[in-house]
A and B are shown apart, each in its own frame.
Chain A
Amino acid sequence: MNIDDDRLSAYLDDELASAERDEVDTALASDPAVQSLLAELAEMKAVFGSSMIEPSRTSINRMIGAVERADEQNPLAPSPVVDSASRRRVPTFAAIAASVVIIASVVGGVGGTASIPAIGDLVARHEAAASVLDSGAELAMNDDAMHEMMDEGPSIPDVLDLTYADQDGSLVHAVFESPDGVLLSLFRQDGDADLNEIGTEMGTGEIIDMGGHEMWASDMGETHVAVIDGDGFTWTIIGNAEADHMMIMMSDLPGRSPSIGERIGDVTDAIIRPFRLGN
C-alpha cells in the first residue's frame, strides 16, 4: 500500500466495506510506514475536527442583526450579502407542470423520440430545477458542467448569474438568473437539431431565419423555448420569459424586443458570435 492509496483516509473515516478494511488492516500489520502515515492523518483529522472557531459577540450581533433586518424589510428580497437560490420566487413555475405534461405527451415523454432535443425532457429538467430552487432547497453544482458551460460554452453575459449546472452524458444544463428575476435554463447537446422536425412534433412555434442559421421558438403558456442549432451543437433556452427576451438576455443586448422577429438583425448579430454559429 503506497501513500497515495485513498483507502487509508477512508479507513480513518470508517467509510470502507469490510473487505477493503481487512486489506488495510493487513497492510497496517506488516508495514510501519503505513502505520506512521495513518497516525499522522488521524492526528490532523482530530486537530481540524476539534478546532471550533468562536465568533466574537460583536460579530454574532452583526450577523444576526443583518439577517433580521433583511427579513423584516422584505422577506422575499435579496439578502444584503449575496443572491440566494432560496430567496428566488418563481411563481410561474407552479403553472408549468400542466404544460410539461402536454409537451411530454406530444413528444412522447422522456426518451420517446430520438430527435434533438427532446423538448419535453428539457422542459421537465428546467421545471424540476426551478421547483427545487423555488422551494428554497439547494442544488449541488456539478463543477465539470459549470466549467464546461462557462469556459467552453457561449459568451454568457455578466448580467446573468449562474445558479446551477449539471451534466447528463453529453447534455449540459445550466440555470441562470437575470437581474429582473427571470430564471432560464441553457442546454447544450451534441449534434444538430432538425428544427422542422421539432416544429412538427410540437405542433407549435415558428422557425426564424437568423442570417443563415435558424432558431425555432415557441411560447407555450408560461414556458418559453428557443432552439438554435449549428456548429455541431444544439442550444436550447427555456424560461419564464418570452423567447426573444431570453435571447436578448443571453446576448447582452440592452433592451427588450417586443416580439420574436423584431430587432432580429440585432439579435442575430449578437447571438451568432457568442454561440459560434457563424464561424
Chain B
Amino acid sequence: MADKAGRTPEPGVPTWDGIARDHLRFMYSVAYRLAGNQSDAEDVVQEALLRVKRGLESYTPGSLQGWLARIVTNVFLDETRRRKRRPQTHLPDDPDRVLAGAPGADEVLAMETLPDHLQRTISSLPEEFRTAVVLCDVAGLSYAEIAEQSGVPVGTVRSRIHRGRLQLREVLS
C-alpha cells in the first residue's frame, strides 16, 4: 500500500505513516526518559521522525524498535553535545508554540499522569549511565547494540548499566 506521498515501500521496509502511527509512543517514551521533560522530548521525537522519514531507504529489515531507539538516542546526544558546546536561546519557529498559552486539557492530563518520581530519579543519573539504562530497560536493546550505539566496548556498557542501576537504587531508597 502506498503512503500519503504515493510511494510504495519496499517489502519489509516500514512506511513513515506506519511508524508515526504505531511507534510514536515508544519513541516518545525513550525520548522522555532521556530528556527528562515534555518539551525537550517533543523536540527530540520531532527531529527523530524527520530523520526516519528521510532515512527510511537506508533501513534494513531487522529490529525496527532498535533502529528507532538508536535514532532517538542519537538526536538526544547530538542536542546535548550542542548545548554543552554552545549554550544558546533558540527562537521558537512554530508559531503555535509561541502563542499556545495554557496547555490543552489532554496535555494537562498527560502531564499529571507522568510518573514524575521515576523521571526525576533517572534524570539524576550522569548522561552515559542514563543512556545505557534507558536503552536497555526502556528500548530493550542488547548490550552489543548499546555498545554499537554508544561507541564503547560491551564491558563498558555492562558497567554503566550496573552503576546506573545502583545509583537509581540508592536514590529510590
Task: Say which residue of A45, A60, A150 sits within 8 Å of B137 (CB atoms).
Answer: A45
Task: Say which residue of B43, B109, B118 sits within 8 Å of A56 (CB atoms).
Answer: B109
Over the window 107-138 of chain B, the binary record of Cβ atoms lying under 8 Å from chain A Cβ atoms (1 yes, 0 no) is 10110011100100010000010000110111
The reply on B22 being an interface residue by CB < 8 A is: no
CA of A3 to CA of B44, assembled, Å: 35
CA of A49 to CA of B91, assembled, Å: 35
Question: Given the complex, which residues of B lie within 8 Å of A5, measured CB to CB?
Answer: 162
Q: Residue among A41, A44, A161 with the most chain B CB within 10 A? A: A44
Q: Residue among B54, B138, B152 with the most chain A CB within 10 A? A: B54
CA of A28 to CA of B97, assembled, Å: 53
Question: Given the complex, which residues of B lie within 8 Å of A142, measured CB to CB?
Answer: 151-152
The reply on B94 being an interface residue by CB < 8 A is: yes
CA of A206 to CA of B134, assembled, Å: 51
Decide if A138 touches B74 in the complex (CB within 8 Å): yes
Question: Which residue of chain A has the shortest Cβ distance to B51 in the bound complex?
Answer: A86
Decide if A51 touches B94 in the complex (CB within 8 Å): no
In the complex, what's the smallest C-beta–C-beta distance from B170 to chain A, in angstroms?
Answer: 10
In the complex, what's the smallest C-beta–C-beta distance from B58 to chain A, in angstroms?
Answer: 5
CA of A4 to CA of B164, assembled, Å: 11
Question: Given the complex, which residues of A lie within 8 Å of B75, measured CB to CB?
Answer: 82, 84
Decide if A86 touches B55 in the complex (CB within 8 Å): yes
Question: Given the complex, which residues of A lie within 8 Å of B13, measured CB to CB?
Answer: none
Decide if B106 touches A56 in the complex (CB within 8 Å): yes
In the complex, what's the smallest C-beta–C-beta distance from B65 to chain A, in angstroms?
Answer: 12
A73-81, A109-117, A210-218, A263-271: which one contacts chain B?
A73-81
In the complex, what's the smallest C-beta–C-beta distance from A34 to chain B, in angstroms?
Answer: 13
Nearest 5 Cβ contacts at the A-B interface: A136-B55, A6-B162, A140-B151, A9-B162, A56-B110
Which residues on B are within 8 Å of A, measured CB to CB?
20, 24-26, 28-29, 32-33, 38, 41-47, 49-51, 53-55, 57-58, 70-71, 74-75, 77-79, 81-82, 85-86, 93-94, 96-97, 103-104, 106-107, 109-110, 113-115, 118, 122, 128, 133-134, 136-138, 140, 142-143, 148-152, 158-159, 161-163, 165-166, 168-169, 172
What are 16 of the A-B contact pairs (CB < 8 Å)? Answer: A6-B161, A10-B158, A10-B162, A51-B118, A52-B26, A56-B110, A58-B107, A62-B42, A63-B45, A63-B49, A67-B50, A71-B53, A81-B44, A87-B50, A87-B51, A141-B151
